[in-house]
Amino acid sequence: MNFRDTLKVNGKGHLEIGGADTVELAEKFGTPLYVLDEQYIRDMCSVYRDTIRQDYDGNGIVLYASKALSCLAMYKIAESENIGVDVVSGGELFTALRAGFPAEKIYMHGNNKLPQELEFALDHNVGTIVVDAYSEIDLLDGLCAQKNKVQNILIRINPGVEAHTHRFIQTAKTDSKFGFSVADGAAMKITEYALSKKNLKLEGYHCHIGSQIFEMQSFVLAVDKMLAFMAAVKENLHFEASVLNLGGGYGIWYTDEDPQLKTEDYAGYLKTVIAELKQKSQEYGLKRPYLVIEPGRSIVGEAGITLYTVGTVKDIPGIKKYVAVDGGMFDNPRYALYQAKYTAILANRANEKATETVSVAGKCCESGDIVCANVSLPQAHSGDILAVLSTGAYNYSMASNYNRNLIPPIVLVKDGKGEYIVKPQTYEDLVRNDVIPERLK
Ligand SMILES: Cc1ncc(COP(=O)(O)O)c(C=O)c1O
């Protein structure tokens, strides 16, 4: 197992994150606990931002895809790193605005934005809305007319490249709830339609080809397909797009099946994309579009770990050993959803060699409530602190109160010190919105 710069083992044999002893964090803040290393997040924001600055004359913007982890402090970090954000719901938008995030640097996504979400976005002057349906275009244009506004939009395109982890496929027509397909002409038609709307200003296109992608060729292919499409639009409709948003999707390390990338590798990814973009723009005689990228997982994923306390241990000889922790699918549903793989270590005995393979189980009343399966650990005992690595993205943001468990707080570590950025929930929070009708009293 390799550790990224953010993680190391200290002289006491304890795991450290961002210079903070995780056993001390667990003692001070309790478990289960999400912990994030601020420096890691900032390093990832700056590597993308600086690569666009250096390799593309600053003609673009990095958006933090805040679905990965949305809370006030994350928008504050994004703002101070001088990047934008993408939001996918009224709730994420509300959080960004409450954090004081500049509205013009917010891009709003969603395949089924609600009328009230669009209105909320318009009332707060959100910079760009990425449209994904004819009905949305009609609704948005109508709302803009009422409010006497013109809204910048991008259209979500399905370029026919689908990529996941180490593989990608090219499909003529992808079965996806997202985007208009280039292959069947839908993308061209919606462009013509959007251009006919007086209160919408079509700036360009968006695509997102998948997540947890390591195969650079898939991003390069997406650039090729998008530029070819933009050239066809120019020829057919005499409209030249000025913005190209290529979405997110860069992969991160979860287990040793994944490559362990350094910040400069992410710069390398982006440089390759930019080089292709420059070349294809020239080949097609297009102006270089303003480049937008939307990394989420790669900004915050490896910056985070989750700390748990080990409770019961159940050994079924010859079958399996379950190490149960005080968390579960309510703080990390990714194994239950799609058998996501993770690496776990005993944070209080981080130097000890792994001697067995176990499944880390949660405390929910579901057999499928597994945090991670088949992980190698030293023999774990009740009271040990177990750390699951690379949990910064799509954990807190996917958490629930299932079984009325409390969503863990988040502690942000900077210069070896941790402080809350999300406070612990209380049982009172759980019943705050419950109502007993008169007839049940
Ligand atoms: C439209 C869009 N942009 C950006 C992202 C972020 O992707 P990732 O976290 O893999 O970088 C996603 C993830 O689903 C997405 O749907």
Domains and CATH numbers, the chain: 7-30+303-431 (2.40.37.10), 38-298 (3.20.20.10)
pTM to 2 decimals?
0.96
Would you state the pLDDT for residue 1? 47
Token readout for 45 is 């924001």
Closest to 68 measured CA to CA, from 114, 21, 34: 34
In the chain, % helix, strand, coil (3-state, to 5) comes to: 35, 25, 40
Q: 275-325, pLDDT tens digit by residue? A: 999 999 999 999 999 999 999 999 999 999 999 999 999 999 999 999 999
Token readout for 318 is 């010859």
Is residue 307 within 8 Å of residue 371, measured between CB atoms? Answer: no
Pocket of ligand 1 (CB under 6 A): 65, 68, 86, 109, 208, 211, 247-250, 294-298, 393
Per DSSP, the three-state class of 437 is coil
Would you state the pLDDT for residue 177? 78
Nearest CA to ligand 1 atom 12: 248
Asked whether the predicted pLDDT for residue 25 surpasses 90, the reply is: yes
**434 C-alpha to center of ligand 1: Å?**
34
Question: For residue 32, is the peptide bond before it cis, meaning its omega torsion is within 30 degrees of 0?
Answer: yes
144 is catalytic: no
User: What is the secondary structure of 27-47 as a DSSP string?
Assistant: HHH-SSEEEEEHHHHHHHHHH
Closest to 155 measured CA to CA, from 134, 169, 170: 134
Per-residue pLDDT band for 169 (boundaries 50, 70, 90) equals: low
Token readout for 387 is 């750390």
Per DSSP, 354 falls in state P
Token readout for 60 is 């673009």
**Atom of ligand 1 at shortest range from CA of 130:** 1
**127 C-alpha to center of ligand 1: Å?**
19
Q: Parallel, antiparallel, or unpaired: how do β-strands 106-108 and 84-87 relate? A: parallel
Per-residue pLDDT band for 178 (boundaries 50, 70, 90) equals: confident
Asked whether the predicted pLDDT for residue 167 surpasses 80, the reply is: no
Would you state the pLDDT for residue 236? 98
- Which residue shows structure tokens 């009325």? 404
**Ligand 1 binding pocket mutation candidate from 63, 174, 208, 252 (most atoms within 8 A of CB):** 208
Asked whether the predicted pLDDT for residue 2 surpasses 60, the reply is: no
Partners of 86 in beta bridges: 65, 107
Task: Give phi and psi for 176, each to the nearest 5.
Answer: -145, 145
